[in-house]
A and B are shown apart, each in its own frame.
Chain A
């Protein structure tokens, strides 16, 4: 199969790659570009561990083709902190111990960032439904919800 040439922007940087037509964006990120922060938990869009933002839209990168990234703006966990400055969500996840094993954490952080961008002052219920596409098996979600609430408060004040 001939490769597809793709020109795109990832975390603000211009990136070019060749990928197969049936290759997912997740495979491209992990296997071609070395961006292994997005995780494959299921490969079927059920767990959210591979969440990335494509043009302001939260997606499961396992359900997007690598070729579809052409001309888009893609945001992954690797671009969330600014230099050595953690994003408030990252900081609050640490402070609240909103992770145990941490495999779902990149997906949760991306999904939470997307949620707060669209709804800066969510209720607990809105957070719970906003993050319902991301599975966590360790925490029971309690500390994740609290971390997002706390981060929302910090970000409102900022």
Chain B
């Protein structure tokens, strides 16, 4: 492929407009089919039995009574999912998380499953399964788990990344370090140093659609899986490996997806559904309850973070340091490492050091959640940055502008930045009318910055031109929030035709080459790159066909605004041929016209955002109300601006929920106490104001249209922006997220006590 992905400044016809999405009508009429909306002939209902203990050895499982219940067609335990991972530790963890093998490692860990003729029978069968547990001491708190006295979750884990190989096992799976310069020297040069410690609680992605799938394994070794997922090709790889199937014989179709936010990038119940179907010899539908979603899927890390930043009187930061401890659930992860990479990514620093510790706890396996690990690190760093600005006596926006990373800055995590948006977002915030609006009593304004890497990855796309000149675009990145609209716009732009003539679909795993998941804000970035490439390949064929129709050399045919144009004086009277005219003749000129593309979309441009939040605190109750919220973020190029705004608003709303309310609450028994939307309360409509957005476009040099991913960065600044607003409203620095009313009240009372003494 001679595809050149570099940015070329150009004007746009379709890109940047706001048409209605192609899947829209299905979604407003109830016709769109999500994970649980699909059925097969002879289908059974699958249900999973889950451990009520946070940590327990599974001595014995007796399934005999359940098997004898009328209507039960299969009962499985870990024995029905033999270990085929062949030394692949990460895959073994996925297998063990799907069905506990020797120990239950958290409240909600799957231990057995049934398939029965209906839900009622399946529920009854679960009650008849007898599990003999030996309950072990457990630990759910990230700081507690790091202590030498903590119960060991996996005695085969010895901390990686230490200078000396440890002799004792530990709950810390890995230490990582990033940075450059000499922080000791940097702090020596500082006139002011702020050092603070922070904690954040565990949150769930909170997608409204529970995990759901229909699995059908045939006796001939072929299988089908219908599933709500962010990455059906990855699900295919993982399920095929765990079940011992050939990947090409497992066809995975991604349903419409009812939210994912990272939580549907990991297989959970799908291998179980396939194993049930294999054993029962019938299709099995498995849908998690909301209780199961909270107890056994998601969530993000709980964290404990120490930050130290020093600056000169003139506001120049001289050194920055952070130690980040992230919970991973009971399996190894790289969550603290990502936090350590992102923590200071917004700033131009000569001396910076971050250290991350991955910590095992008896909680569900940590999953990605929108810009995973970055919001917590930003909360700690951006809170400390505000405190430092206050000590120096400099405006917090000016302080950040002075120290903001620029093109050419070496990022704290290693690479040197190209053109980036942190400075422009800060300048836009400084000049935003929101920053000048008056505030009332007990009201405060805060702002904060956020960073996310963005990702590109493997991408494969097919563009087929029908004989009527309409275009089918088959992509392999799951559409989580409108990408079929943005990709149709890109195809229309490149071909020079109207958006209305393009129809994009998400193809299944048997219809298209491998695609990485829709994660890392890559959906529109990478698939638009592949779509541009596919369209250019199709245009090459269109030009050839036009040349054939005119009987001239293809070198004399150019493609302009949806038409083949004959170039050169000798062809002056040939006129133009539209895409539609060429397509109509395709049967006579060589057959169907299509463009294919497979590529690795490198060069996803990094993304920055700055948020402003006004909050009111009730000093009597500690309750808070977000009064006004503004998101400023660099999109590179907003392909469909309305959906870009939607990403900005949605991330901000999730961040607001995380900052103020959402948290996993564990009892002393290690059981999750709030596994439902009533007690794990995500923001509702009446909790929020309108969320204003400002899209900046600093082109990504590594994409033909300048596109950057936009999905994740918006969740990074809110925790800190709101904490800074609370601090400015009532004078208390909240160091523990969520800033729920009891925590704010306690902080206010402690502050009053301090003054009364």
B contact residues around A71 at 8 Å (CB): none
Whether A103 lies near B28 (C-beta < 8 A) is: no
Total contacting residues, chain A, CB less than 8 A: 59
Whether B25 lies near A86 (C-beta < 8 A) is: yes
Give the nearest-CB partner of B23 in chain A. A102
Whether B482 lies near A100 (C-beta < 8 A) is: yes
B contact residues around A101 at 8 Å (CB): 207-209, 256-260, 480-481
Contact residue among A22, A38, A138 (Cβ-Cβ distance under 8 Å from B30) = A38
Q: List 23 A-B contacts (CB under 8 A).
A: A36-B36, A39-B258, A43-B290, A76-B30, A77-B30, A78-B30, A80-B30, A95-B20, A97-B642, A97-B646, A99-B24, A100-B643, A102-B32, A102-B258, A104-B258, A129-B686, A131-B686, A132-B684, A132-B685, A135-B682, A137-B259, A137-B654, A142-B688
Docked Cα-Cα span, A157 to B37, in Å, equals: 37
Contact residue among B24, B37, B208, B289 (Cβ-Cβ distance under 8 Å from A36) = B37
Give the nearest-CB partner of B27 in chain A. A102
Whether B685 lies near A137 (C-beta < 8 A) is: no
Docked Cα-Cα span, A136 to B481, in Å, equals: 13
Whether B33 lies near A138 (C-beta < 8 A) is: no
B contact residues around A80 at 8 Å (CB): 29-30
Whether B37 lies near A41 (C-beta < 8 A) is: no
Taking the complex as formed, is B206 at the interface, i.e. its CB lies under 8 A from any CB of chain A? Answer: yes
Give the nearest-CB partner of B690 in chain A. A142
Q: How far is the CB of B690 from chain A (nearest CB, A)?
A: 5
B contact residues around A22 at 8 Å (CB): 120
Whether B28 lies near A47 (C-beta < 8 A) is: no
**A20, A97, A128, A144 — which one has the most chain B CB atoms within 10 A of its CB?**
A97
Q: Which 3 A-B pairs have the closest CB atoms?
A: A37-B30, A103-B258, A140-B653
Docked Cα-Cα span, A104 to B196, in Å, equals: 40
A contact residues around B36 at 8 Å (CB): 30, 36, 39-40
Whether A41 lies near B209 (C-beta < 8 A) is: yes
Q: Tell me if A's interface is mostly helix, strand, loop or mixed.
A: loop
Q: A38-B30, A101-B259 are in contact. Are A139 and B25 (CB under 8 A)?
A: no
* A 116-139 binary contact with B (CB < 8 Å = 1; else 0): 000000001101110111111111
**Total contacts A-B at CB 8 Å:** 179
Total contacting residues, chain B, CB less than 8 A: 57
Q: How far is the CB of A126 from chain B (nearest CB, A)?
A: 10
Q: A95-B20, A100-B650, A127-B685 are in contact. Are A39 and B209 (CB under 8 A)?
A: yes
Whether B209 lies near A103 (C-beta < 8 A) is: yes
Docked Cα-Cα span, A99 to B21, in Å, equals: 10
Within 8 A of B (CB), among A1-45: 20, 22, 27, 30, 35-44
Q: How far is the CB of A19 from chain B (nearest CB, A)?
A: 12
Taking the complex as formed, is B676 at the interface, i.e. its CB lies under 8 A from any CB of chain A? Answer: yes
Taking the complex as formed, is A54 at the interface, i.e. its CB lies under 8 A from any CB of chain B? Answer: no
Given contacts A76-B30, A101-B260, A102-B27, 20 further A-B contacts (CB under 8 A): A30-B36, A39-B208, A43-B289, A47-B208, A78-B29, A78-B30, A94-B28, A97-B21, A101-B207, A102-B258, A105-B27, A127-B685, A128-B686, A131-B685, A131-B686, A133-B684, A135-B684, A139-B646, A140-B688, A142-B649
Q: How far is the CB of A78 from chain B (nearest CB, A)?
A: 5
Taking the complex as formed, is A109 at the interface, i.e. its CB lies under 8 A from any CB of chain B? Answer: yes
Give the nearest-CB partner of A138 in chain B. B650
